[in-house]
Amino acid sequence: MDGKIEAVIGPMYSGKTEELIRRVVRRNIARQRGVIFKISSDTRNKDENVISRAGTSLKATTVESARDTLKYLKENMDYVAFDEAQFFGEELFEVVNLFVKRGTDVIVAGLNLDFRGEPFNNVMKIVAIADEIVLLKAVCVVCGKDATRTQRLILKEGQWLPASLNDPIFKVEGEDVQIRYEPRCKDCWKVGDNMAKVGKHMDVTPEIYNDGKEAKGVEKRVLISPKDGAPTFIMRHFTMKAGGFTPHHSHPWEHEVYVLKGKGFLRTNEGKKPFGVGDYVFVPPNEMHQFVNDSDETLEFICVIPKSGN
């Protein structure tokens, strides 16, 4: 029989670790065998226990990655538990499923949302297949209402201010004195103003489109998007190898393109429209289009779309 998945989610301070411990203690009373896993990148408590802020604690096993826990698969445990599941990365989903197939119950405790209010995808994928979901709430430290959000604060010139979207997601509480977290309700929770920044397009990891049918030889780099705090536009940088092309398609948003290097043509319903360095290209909403590099050099262009185009 497959194991069951219990997902315990909520903001920081909502009692996820406390609930995980409570569930494991009950199972231990029932003489079940199992392990609690925590990940070594969670530097908040370095000892071998999971500790809740309420003061309860239980013995845990520290692992380097979700995959590391697979050596327990052959032991036919009754249960395994993952605390701070958001730190276990994308592979946690597959690992949880392997335990489940083995007949082991899995308890997963973790944050549903990051400080920006964006879902932790690895946690939410497990929630989607869970047999039981517990959404816990903390107490808003500002107003005392139920807190569903985690506020990140940054110490700037002696003042604790809401962190901005530019900040990285993973900072463990206690590791950096400049940052702290507190539970807040939706009304008191804020994402700070975003700082202006300068970046190099080559430092952005590209998405590659190269199946040879839909698209060929295309690298897309999202330079500026809502993730950076841009509310309206997304700026992308495209590199297209000689002989490359983008999909021949249409969509309800426009393309505003500026050509940086090389040449090629836009395929439209009225035929080919050639372009080269220094040209702009406008594709209105709902018009069939395809960018083609029919030259023997690499083509590079900037393409701006509205946020709704993502």
The answer to whether residue 139 forms part of the interface with ligand ADP (CB under 6 A) is: yes
Question: What does DSSP say about strands 105-110 and 79-82: parallel, antiparallel, or unpaired?
Answer: parallel
Which residue has the CB atom at the shortest distance from Mg ion?
Answer: 17
188 binds, among Mg ion, Zn ion, ligand ADP, none (CB under 5 to 8 A by kind): Zn ion
Q: Is 156 an interacting residue with respect to ligand ADP (CB under 6 A)?
A: no
138 binds ligand ADP (CB under 6 A): yes
Are 44 and 173 a contacting pair, CB within 8 Å? yes
Q: Does 188 bind Zn ion (CB under 5 A)?
A: yes
Length of the chain: 310
User: What DSSP string describes 174-203?
Assistant: TT-TTEEEEEE-TTT---BPPPP----GGG
17 binds ligand ADP (CB under 6 A): yes
Task: Work out what residue 67 binds among Zn ion, ligand ADP, Mg ion, none; the CB cut-off runs from 5 to 8 Å by kind.
Answer: none
Find the binder of ligand ADP among 70, 124, 133, 141 (CB under 6 A).
141
Interacting residue with ligand ADP among 3, 6, 9, 15 (CB under 6 A): 15
At which residue do the structure tokens 């592979």 appear? 91
Q: Judged by CB under 5 A, does residue 143 bind Zn ion?
A: yes
Which member of 6, 18, 19, 84 is catalytic? Answer: 84
Our CB check for ligand ADP shows the closer of 139 and 191 to be 139
Q: And the tokens for 105? A: 């119950």
Among positions 8, 51, 109, 140, the unique one binding Zn ion when judged by CB under 5 A: 140
Q: Report the residue from 6, 9, 18, 265 that binds ligand ADP according to the rule CB under 6 A.
A: 18
Residues 7-66 that bind Mg ion (CB under 5 A): 16-17
Q: Is 52 in the site for ligand ADP (CB under 6 A)?
A: yes
Tell me the CB-side half-sphere exposure of residue 75, using CA atoms within 13 A: 12
Is position 13 an interface residue for ligand ADP (rule: CB under 6 A)?
yes
| Inter-CA distances, 25 with 31, 37, 81, 82, 96, Å | 10, 15, 12, 14, 21
Cβ pair 3, 131 in contact under 8 A: no
251 binds, among Mg ion, ligand ADP, Zn ion, none (CB under 5 to 8 A by kind): none
What contacts 69, CB < 8 A, 6 or more positions away?
Answer: 35, 37, 63, 80, 82, 95
Whether the Cβ atoms of residue 3 and residue 102 lie closer than 8 Å to each other: yes
Strands 159-162 and 179-184: unpaired
Among the candidate windows 44-52, 76-84, 112-120, 186-194, which touches Zn ion by CB under 5 A?
A: 186-194
Give yes or no: 84 in active site: yes
DSSP readout, 49-116?
EEE-TTS-EEE-EEESSSGGGGGGGGGT-SEEEESSGGGG-TTHHHHHHHHHHTT-EEEEEE-SB-TT
**CB-wise, 114 or 287, nearer to ligand ADP?**
114
Q: Contact between 112 and Mg ion (CB under 5 A)?
A: no
Nearest Cα to Cα of residue 13 among 49, 44, 59, 48: 44
Q: How far is the CB of 73 from ligand ADP (least distance, A)?
A: 26
Count of residues of this chain found to bind ligand ADP when the rule CB under 6 A is applied: 15
Q: Determine the size of the site formed for Mg ion (CB under 5 A).
A: 2
Contacting residue, 163, 165, 185, 303, with Zn ion by CB under 5 A = 185
Angle at 250 between CA 247 and CA 252, to 5 degrees: 135
141 scored as a contact of Zn ion (CB under 5 A): no
Catalytic machinery residues = 84
Contacting residues toward Mg ion, per CB under 5 A: 16-17
Contacting residues toward ligand ADP, per CB under 6 A: 10, 12-18, 52-54, 138-139, 141, 183
